[in-house]
Amino acid sequence: MPTLGDVQRVYDFFRRHPTWVDSFWAVVLLMPCALWIVAGGGTSGTGRVIAVPVSLALALVVALRRRAPERMLVVAFGIGLLQLLLNVKPYPGDIAFLVIIYACASNGLRWSSRLALIGGLAAAPLSMMRWPPREDGARDGDDDVNPTPAPPLGDHAGPDRAEARKTDPELAAHFAASIALELRPTSERNRRTLRAAWRTRCSFSTSAMRT
């Protein structure tokens, strides 16, 4: 059975080799990054390819956060700017930014801690400006939200329907509104509304033709 002395010796070993401990956490950070890249992460194929070297660089930031916090902070700033320029959306590897901010605040020089504070405060507004959220809560430019295909317009394309729209202004206005709704990209949240409008339009058109 391990004794308290054995635990103390392990603790002393880790304290004498902090880079080994940080390297372990860097490898742990790469795991969710790899899962995000393989799963797609709601970004384009180019974004996933760019995320590979970005993840390795962020893992390096975590591994050397106590050995060279100031230099790793500069590297983290460069990676953040690359993410903004190359459209690499926020993903699990961004935890490294919080880690280096804490490392500079606890072990870095005064200028690095102040710079880390400024960068941490500016990160969220810059991310919101670069990828503004849409009404459905998704980020602007996400690829996993596709517009709903427009239903076929065959029931409104015949000459009888066209004649009915000419003689009935209300039917013409309803038809124009429904067409505008079909052509507007819709998210998953309002697809149900679109389907309900489609059913209402069909029933309205049928009743108008019968009269």
pLDDT tens per residue across span 36-66: 988 876 667 788 889 999 999 999 999 999 9
**In the predicted model, is pLDDT for residue 91 greater than 80?**
yes
Whether the Cβ atoms of residue 118 and residue 111 lie closer than 8 Å to each other: no
Residue 2 reports pLDDT greater than 80: no
Q: Report in angstroms the alpha-carbon separations of 208 from 94, 159, 202, 204.
A: 58, 14, 10, 6
Q: Is the pLDDT of residue 88 over 70?
A: yes
pLDDT tops 70 at residue 74: yes
Write out the two tokens for 188. 């998953």
- Domains of the chain, by residue range, sit at 4-130, 154-210
Q: Is 139 helix (H, G, I), strand (E, B) or coil?
A: strand
